[in-house]
Structure 1
Amino acid sequence: MTAQPEPTSGAQAFEPRRVIVTGADSGIGKATAVALAGPDRQVGITWHEDEAGAESTAEEVRAAGGTAHVRRLDLTDPAAGTRVVDELAGAMGGVDTLVMCSGTGTATRLLDLDLATWREVVSVDLDGAFCCLQAAARHMVDAGAGGRIVAITSVHEHAPRVGAGPYCAAKGGLGLLVKVAALELAEHGITVNAVAPGEIATPMTGQEDESVLRDKRRPGIPVARPGDAREIAATVAFLCGPDAGYVNGASWAVDGGMLTMGPMAGSHLREDDWRRP
């Protein structure tokens, strides 16, 4: 039988010192890498298409006093997640914190969706996340010092969206993978949680990393605006920090109240625009 950790293991004593943030070349990933940077901290940064963006993130990590390690990661080959996590763990002397921000999606209705597109989205958003999580968890378990794993899912982990079939399926699956991992890894002092953002002003939503208060009104969201990537990063930083040792297997919606609208939004729609991606 596996020995159980002491009650205080992985709680107040934990600090994220050797961190990997996937998809850290822009948006939520970039904001998270910077939020977790600091003196005596190493941050592994991965990018897929925007190398310059990753280098910009690395500069901000270094400006905060941290050490940056930059690697390319293409999760259309999910096994690359294992290789890159292992490589970064080797460069940093281990890994105690993993934040998975890599993701892609579609705006295609199911009847028009081809299998190749379905597989690409699921490979990146679910298969690749599994490979990264498994690899990082193995390093954490071997080190025996606990750890933190956070998956960036989406409000569409919890609620569907027209035109986003593979994205919703993958994020829903990732949300349950988080819960299974939370159960299995807790005895090793490792917590696993999800953060489920709503609309965030980033390149992935066709916006830029800019002020969310200027010309961005969203009547269908209770706070009436998109979120800022740094607002997501602040939640992630808490979950990765010493005060979140008792948070495990949770999915934190950071969405300005979007998910709470439910029947309110449905009962107030006056047009059929929602039927189109």
Structure 2
Amino acid sequence: MERSVLVTGAGRGIGRAVALRLAGAGFRIAINYRRNEEAAASCLAEIEAAGGQAYVLPFDISDRELVRATLEKDIEENGVYWGVVLNAGVHADNPLPSMKGEEWDRVIHTNLDGFYNIMNPLVMPMIRAKKGGRVVSMSSVAGITGNRGQVNYSAAKAGIIGATKALAQELAKRKITANSVAPGFIHTDMVADLPVDEIKRHIPMRRFGTAEEVAGLVNFLFSDDAAYITGQVISINGGLV
């Protein structure tokens, strides 16, 4: 049985690693991206070269009407998604006294509103399909412990955790699980400008994680072995507390 999975922000970083890993597990991947068409095309080419199935699906997750129109058209043309990985997000770091209103709004509207914008039009088609399914949201250690200079990002990621837990309760009897993955410091473009050596001293494993390690966790949550796991927040952070 062919199962399609939407992965948002799949062109680079964790999203790309997740798309590649799930494609390798036999899922057909809808590769979402916002601006970087070249990265999305590269991800598509890599999946197809390995014998997997995928296609690109451009939209900005913060644009509610565009998201709905795009997803409804895609479902009409390609069928209902069996799974969704809510990975796309942005950050605009600043201490709260210096944080501009647009920095707060952009992060909240993209990261948290994006959850609603995507899942609202997708939940009922998944329910009507009566095939079960998986939803995995990408939170962050910042959404659990907070992080200096990231009040907006921490608020959005904490909100995603709450939304995922509530959605899990709504969907459990439909055999659709919803869980949140909370990465710590992972080697991606997002951490390129951070003081890596200093941060590593605070991580018990003394290293950053890899996007492939996060993808492995998501892949497990999409497996049959994870069918009884729902409403959980699973940290992958090298022991960071």
State the TM bucket, normalised to the shorter chain: over 0.9
After superposition, the Cα gap between the structure-2 partners of 1:161 and 1:215, relative to the gap in structure 1 and judged at 3 Å, is: closer
User: Are 1:252 and 2:234 counterparts?
Assistant: yes
Q: Secondary structure at the match of 2:186?
A: coil
State how 1:180-195 maps to structure 2 within 5 Å: 180-195=166-181
Correspondence for 1:89:
75
Amino acid at match of 1:246: Y
Alignment equivalent of 2:185, drawn from 187, 199, 202: 199
Are the counterparts in 2 of residues 147 and 190 from structure 1 also a CA contact under 8 Å? yes
Percent of residue pairs bearing the same amino acid type? 34
CA distance in 2, matches of 1:204, 1:85: 27
Are the counterparts in 1 of residues 61 and 117 from structure 2 also a CA contact under 8 Å? no
Gaps of 5+ in 2: none
Q: Secondary structure at the match of 1:201?
A: coil
Correspondence for 1:242:
224
CA distance in 2, matches of 1:84, 1:129: 15
TM-score, normalized by length of structure 1?
A: 0.81
State how 1:41-52 maps to structure 2 within 5 Å: 41-52=27-38
Alignment equivalent of 1:158, drawn from 144, 150, 165: 144
After superposition, the Cα gap between the structure-2 partners of 1:249 and 1:70, relative to the gap in structure 1 and judged at 3 Å, is: same
Amino acid at match of 1:120: R
Amino acid at match of 1:139: P
Q: Deviations over 1:132-162 (max 9, x none)?
A: 1222222210101111000011011101111
Measured after TM superposition, the shift of residue 221 of structure 1 is 0.4
CA distance in 2, matches of 1:245, 1:16: 18
User: Are 1:233 and 2:215 counterparts?
Assistant: yes
Measured after TM superposition, the shift of residue 191 of structure 1 is 0.3
State how 1:1-277 maps to structure 2 within 5 Å: 17-38=3-24, 41-206=27-192, 218-259=200-241
Q: Secondary structure at the match of 2:23?
A: coil
Q: Aligned-residue CA RMSD in angstroms? A: 2.0
Aligned residues: 239
Gaps of 5+ in 1: 1-14, 208-213, 260-277
Are the counterparts in 1 of residues 62 and 117 from structure 2 also a CA contact under 8 Å? no
TM-score, normalized by length of structure 2?
A: 0.93
Are the counterparts in 2 of residues 150 and 194 from structure 1 also a CA contact under 8 Å? yes
Amino acid at match of 1:127: D
Larger radius of gyration: 1
Q: Please state which structure has a larger fraction of its residues in helix.
A: 2
